[in-house]
């Protein structure tokens, strides 16, 4: 338990950036490795209770490892469908050398090492008993609150605030524990269905239940207001989806049993509260997300849309083997047309499905398809269950919605590439997959 807590705290404080040159990786990865070893040596994780997640992680690791196996020139030359690559290799005198499928082996090794984070989360989760697994919702919601508070401190200190501890980050923005406002917006959105599940946890009495519902409602209102001033359009859209998801976690609120006048008064009050939050943000000129949505032009969006034809061409060139996990930046620079050249570089495809096809090839897409099939099947099974455990039922439903929010965010950005959001996604997967228990200490 201690090793799991240390690993989680380290990931939270140092895992907010996706960049492979993030200096905090020199702190995070050694700590994660030590904690993983401690977990495996002191406990017997019940891997079967979270199956098939270890299998999925193993398959994904295999697709990365295959790209690192040295191959003879007859096999790897021409495998990427680009004559330019073969021409460069020939000019450098490497046409007769063995080489892995990955065009950037160092970056692909980094991608393989990045899987240590989800592996550690799985090992830690599988080492806990049922009660502690359910109780993980408390520190997760606390993490969201800390990230929000940190964002306020960052804004208060200006762009030079010491609370921005990633060298490359959205300075002057409410990014919190992350390095990107879109990722912060995603974190806020996924918290909404989890808040709803938290309010549904069994309470010691009616008064405790009422206080918890009131606290959850206030926290949700704060998240909505925060999303408005954050400036992330994707984050605001996901927050609206999160509001709907929070209701769907447990649609039976008890309002239907009230008299019509009281029922409409409550629904009207909720709508009025949301409208008041939006009006408040607009009145103080802080509804940045709405301003960006209504803006006629946005350089960032125009750049991503202009790059789409190039990205699709890269997909056709890189299939079926892929260019190597982590290779997107140098590979895109090789394909980038003159019209897209600018002082900054294109750091990601801003669509993880497209980037996975480019770098991971058919094998990566196949593993993703299998995982999505499991997710839909597991979520459908839990939602069809009208009754069940009063804790696991809402928790599993909330986890499914939070996973969908992260996957939707991956269509316009790269949240799962950050160790922190990747670890949260792994925890959500564990909640959804949670089955037979039986954890024991090694003697």
Q: Rounded distance, CA 317 to CA 315, Å?
A: 5
Q: Rounded distance, CA 15 to CA 186, Å?
A: 15
Question: pLDDT per residue over 258-284, tens digit each?
Answer: 566 655 665 566 666 666 656 655 554
- In the prediction, which pLDDT does 443 show? 31
Q: CB burial class (10 A; 0-12, 13-18, 19+) of residue 336?
A: middle
Say if CB 46 and CB 441 are below 8 A apart. no
- In the prediction, which pLDDT does 192 show? 96
Say if CB 220 and CB 246 are below 8 A apart. yes
- In the prediction, which pLDDT does 168 show? 81
Q: State residue 441 phi and psi, 5-degree precision.
A: -85, 145
* Backbone CA torsion sign across 208, 213, 218, 222: positive
- In the prediction, which pLDDT does 207 show? 83
Stated pTM of the model: 0.88
User: How far are the Cα atoms of 267, 298, 302, 331 from residue 291, in angstroms, in the given order?
Assistant: 27, 11, 16, 34
Give pLDDT tens digits along the chain (443 positions). Answer: 899 999 999 999 999 998 888 889 999 999 999 999 999 999 899 999 998 999 999 999 999 999 999 888 777 776 665 556 666 666 656 666 788 889 899 999 999 999 999 999 999 999 999 899 999 999 999 999 999 999 999 998 888 888 998 888 888 888 999 998 999 999 999 999 999 999 988 877 788 888 888 899 889 989 998 998 888 888 989 999 999 999 999 876 555 555 666 556 655 666 666 666 566 555 544 555 555 555 545 555 556 777 888 889 888 888 888 889 998 888 888 877 777 777 767 778 889 999 999 999 999 999 999 999 999 999 998 887 766 677 888 999 999 999 999 999 999 899 999 999 999 999 999 999 997 443 444 43
- In the prediction, which pLDDT does 34 show? 97
Contacts of 327 (CB under 8 A, 6+ apart): 102, 103, 104, 107, 108, 359
Report the candidate in 175, 220, 214 with the shortest Cα–Cα distance to residue 194: 220
Report residue 109 CA to chain centroid gap: 21
DSSP assignment letter at 71: B
SS3 336: coil
SS3 222: helix
Contacts of 315 (CB under 8 A, 6+ apart): 354, 357, 358
Residue positions counted in the chain: 443
Structural domain spans, the chain: 2-65+108-297+350-438
Say if CB 318 and CB 81 are below 8 A apart. yes
Q: Rounded distance, CA 198 to CA 398, Å?
A: 9
Alpha helices in 77-126 (DSSP H): 83-91, 105-113, 116-126
Q: State residue 411 phi and psi, 5-degree precision.
A: -80, -15
Question: pLDDT per residue over 336-368, tens digit each?
Answer: 777 777 776 777 888 999 999 999 999 999 999
């Amino acid at each position: 338990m201690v090793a799991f807590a240390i690993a989680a705290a380290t990931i939270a404080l140092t895992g907010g950036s996706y960049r492979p040159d993030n200096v905090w990786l020199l702190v995070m990865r050694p700590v994660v490795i030590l904690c993983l070893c401690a977990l495996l040596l002191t406990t017997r994780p019940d891997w079967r209770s979270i199956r098939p997640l270890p299998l999925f992680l193993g398959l994904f690791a295999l697709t990365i490892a295959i790209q690192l196996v040295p191959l003879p020139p007859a096999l790897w030359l021409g495998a990427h469908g680009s004559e330019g690559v073969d021409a460069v290799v020939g000019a450098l005198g490497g046409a007769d050398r063995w080489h892995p499928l990955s065009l950037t082996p160092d970056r692909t090794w980094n991608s393989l090492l990045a899987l240590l984070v989800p592996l550690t989360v799985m090992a830690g989760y599988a080492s806990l008993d049922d009660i502690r697994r359910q109780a993980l919702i408390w520190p997760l919601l606390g993490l969201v609150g800390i990230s929000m508070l940190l964002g306020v401190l960052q804004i208060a200190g200006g762009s030079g605030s010491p609370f921005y501890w990633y060298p490359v980050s959205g300075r002057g923005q409410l990014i919190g524990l992350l390095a990107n406002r879109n990722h912060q917006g995603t974190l806020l959105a996924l918290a909404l269905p989890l808040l709803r599940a938290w309010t549904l946890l069994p309470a010691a009495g009616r008064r405790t239940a009422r206080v918890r519902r009131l606290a959850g409602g206030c926290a949700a209102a704060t998240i909505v207001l925060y999303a408005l001033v954050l400036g992330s359009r994707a984050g605001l859209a996901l927050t609206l989806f999160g509001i709907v998801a929070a209701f769907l976690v447990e649609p039976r609120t008890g309002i239907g049993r009230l008299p019509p006048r009281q029922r409409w008064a409550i629904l009207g009050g909720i709508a009025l509260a949301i409208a008041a939050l939006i009006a408040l943000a607009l009145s103080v000129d802080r509804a940045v997300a709405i301003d960006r949505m209504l803006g006629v032009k946005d350089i960032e969006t125009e750049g991503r849309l202009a790059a789409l034809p190039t990205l699709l061409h890269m997909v056709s060139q890189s299939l079926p083997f892929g260019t190597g996990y982590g290779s997107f930046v140098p590979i895109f620079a090789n394909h980038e047309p003159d019209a897209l050249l600018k002082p900054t570089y294109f750091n990601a495809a801003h669509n993880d499905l497209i980037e996975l096809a480019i770098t991971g090839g058919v094998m990566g897409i196949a593993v993703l398809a299998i995982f999505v099939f499991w997710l839909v099947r597991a979520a459908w099974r839990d939602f069809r269950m009208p009754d069940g455990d009063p804790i696991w039922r809402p928790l599993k439903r909330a986890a499914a919605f939070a996973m969908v929010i992260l996957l939707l965010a991956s269509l316009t950005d790269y949240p799962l590439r950050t160790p922190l959001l990747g670890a949260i996604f792994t925890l959500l997967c564990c909640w959804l997959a949670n089955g037979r228990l039986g954890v024991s200490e090694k003697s």
